[in-house]
Amino acid sequence: MNIYFTIIVGSVFVNNFVLSQFLGICPFLGVSKKTNTALGMGFAVIFVMSLASVFTYVVNEFVLIKLHLEYMQTIAFILIIAALVQSVEIVIKKFSPSLYSALGVYLPLITTNCAVLGVAILNIQKAYNLLQSFLNGLFAGVGFTLAIVLLAGIRERIHPKNVPESFRGFPITLIAAALLSMGFSAFSGMFGIS
Amino acid sequence: MLLMAKLYVAILIPALVLVVIAAIFACVLAFLGRKLEVKRDEKIVQVESLLSGANCGGCGFAGCSAFAEALANGKADLSACNATSKANKDKIAEILGTVNEGEEMSFVVCCNGGSACEDKYDYHGYGDCASMEMLAGGRKACPVGCMGAGTCVKHCDHHACEICEKGFASINDARCTLCGKCAKSCPKGLIRKIPARAKVFVACSNHAKGKEVRSYCKAGCIGCGMCQRVCPNGAITVVDNLAVIDYSKCTGCGACAVKCPSKCIKTR
């Protein structure tokens, strides 16, 4: 099967970063109270993930491998991601103050978001080329956005309902997330992707 | 020797690579930061510098900086902040073009019971006033008596609340930043604001009839009206079996505190 199709469907549905790989749970729970902030966060993650995939690929291929420094992947990638997030923050602060205040503390948190580091490292592990890495990053971000927006939609509907007191807030959110994750597990094995 | 040199290279090159990558990003970030700098509103900066800077969160905003922004945008009221001094609030009001009507306040515990008030039951178990309150409205026979289990102490970040030896809470004005967390945490709502200049306050919150109050508390207000009679300025009235002080008339002479038979009007 076409490898690009496999990457796209695989990273959005089958190996969804949040719901089947359990990466990036912090913003998944933290910024999913309202659909529009969730969407904003999702776009920030898409942006950072695709850029990070490209940058980490370039640095890995042309610097780390050339100098036989593959063991420095983690630290070099964290450096790259942190710098990227900072620049994204500066840009958003300038051009969309409302998105900036809506994202709040979660934007800097993308710096240490394991989903972003995860996508960079998975690209290397699966030996993707530049275009494939970029696509994987982009659609992993899309998968993250899909998951967080779905959860935000569920939370918006749960919130006004009469939830038993002990389940209010995060407990019921975690249950909803678990059901969502079970739903997504139906995709596993589809299209022969594992 | 050769081995040592190789080792140095093996350490130096990776370090150098990292430094170069970091330096490139630092330059890019510095350039972006300069190019896309967002000018903060001068007004917000000034207001923030005048706020107390306690970052207590008592106003309901995420710290003084967020409160300053809300103030400048007219989304918050200056009275929401308890910690800032009156002088600074006046200056802020001047900057914002509004008038600061609030007076400097302080918090007092409106209960004088403690060991003078009978217990309804012995409380054994986990918890503080809040969990006691759930069990038949607290352990004190008085429905609005301080239970002395220290929920306010737990919520105070500044160690200003304490349970005194008589068994009720008291507030140390010198330490209090007026964040108001204790007042919100008290399940009986016994911690209230009075003007900071006030010399006397009514340390009881019970509206029951005198005989009933006497049956369980030796230190409660029985609504006898003695204070009302001795007050030279007519600042005290007994409303619904409980003395109420009108601080706009009170001069702080203290005559009421001397005459009060249950000693529930306290001087401070």
Nearest partner of B91 among B40, B42, B48, B62, judged by Cα: B48
CB-based contact B21 A79, cutoff 8 Å: yes
Distance CA B238, CA B123 (A): 34
Handedness of CA B200, B204, B209, B213 (dihedral sign): negative
Nearest CA in chain A to B26: A83
Confidence of residue A146 (pLDDT cuts 50, 70, 90): very high
Nearest partner of A11 among A19, A1, B218, judged by Cα: A19
* Average per-residue pLDDT for chain A: 86
User: Residue A83 is nearest to which of B17, B29, B36, comparing CB atoms?
Assistant: B29
Domains of chain B: 42-96 (1.10.15.40), 105-267 (3.30.70.20)
User: Is B196's pLDDT higher than 60?
Assistant: yes
Q: What is the pLDDT of residues B140-185, one digit of tens each?
A: 999 999 998 889 998 888 889 999 888 899 999 888 888 888 888 8
pLDDT of res. B37: 77
Distance CA B268, CA B266 (A): 7
Strands B200-202 and B161-163: unpaired
CB-based contact B32 A97, cutoff 8 Å: no
User: Is B56's pLDDT higher than 70?
Assistant: yes
pLDDT over 90 for what percent of chain B? 15
Distance CA B178, CA B68 (A): 18
Nearest CA in chain A to B33: A90
pLDDT of res. A192: 58
Nearest partner of B185 among B231, B131, B139, judged by Cα: B131
Q: What is the mean pLDDT of residues A95-124?
A: 79
- DSSP sequence for A107-139: HHHHTT-HHHHHHHHHHHHTT--HHHHHHHHHH
Distance CA A167, CA A172 (A): 5
User: Residue B36 is nearest to which of A59, A80, A90, comparing CB atoms?
Assistant: A90
Distances (CA, A) of B180 to B68, B78, B93: 18, 14, 21
Number of A to B CB contacts under 8 A, please give it: 42
CA angle A147, A152, A157 (to 5 degrees): 130
For residue B25, the chain A residues in CB contact (below 8 A) are 79-80, 83
Q: What is the mean pLDDT of residues A51-69?
A: 89
* Average per-residue pLDDT for chain B: 86
Asked if A36 and A98 count as a contact pair (C-beta separation under 8 A), the reply is no
pLDDT of res. A1: 61
- In this predicted structure, which of A11-25, B65-79, B140-154, B220-234 has the lowest mean pLDDT? B65-79
Asked if B213 and B222 count as a contact pair (C-beta separation under 8 A), the reply is yes
Q: Which of helix, strand or coil describes residue B178?
A: coil
Highest mean pLDDT, choosing among A84-88, B61-65, B98-102, B215-219: B215-219
User: Residue B21 is nearest to which of A59, A93, A97, comparing CB atoms?
Assistant: A59
Nearest CA in chain A to B36: A94
Q: Which of helix, strand or coil describes residue A178?
A: helix
User: Is A103's pLDDT higher than 80?
Assistant: no
Nearest partner of A3 among A131, A153, A187, judged by Cα: A131
Chain A CB within 8 Å of residue B18 CB: yes
Nearest CA in chain B to A95: B36
Find the helix or strand (DSSP H, E) in which A147 lies. Answer: helix A130-158
Q: Six-digit token pair at A133?
A: 């890495």
> A9 or B100: whose pLDDT is higher?
A9
pLDDT of res. A193: 59
CB-based contact B18 A79, cutoff 8 Å: yes
Q: Six-digit token pair at B38?
A: 């967002």
E-assigned strand segments in B26-160 = 105-109
Q: What is the pLDDT of residues A16-38, one digit of tens each?
A: 888 888 888 888 888 788 888 78
Q: What is the mean pLDDT of residues B219-230?
A: 90
pTM summary value: 0.56
| Residue B10 distance to chain A (closest CA, Å) | 10
Q: What is the pLDDT of residues A172-192, one digit of tens each?
A: 999 999 999 998 888 887 765
A→B interface, C-beta within 8 Å: 59, 63-64, 67, 69, 72, 75-76, 79-80, 83, 86-87, 90-91, 93-94, 97
User: Is B127's pLDDT higher than 80?
Assistant: no
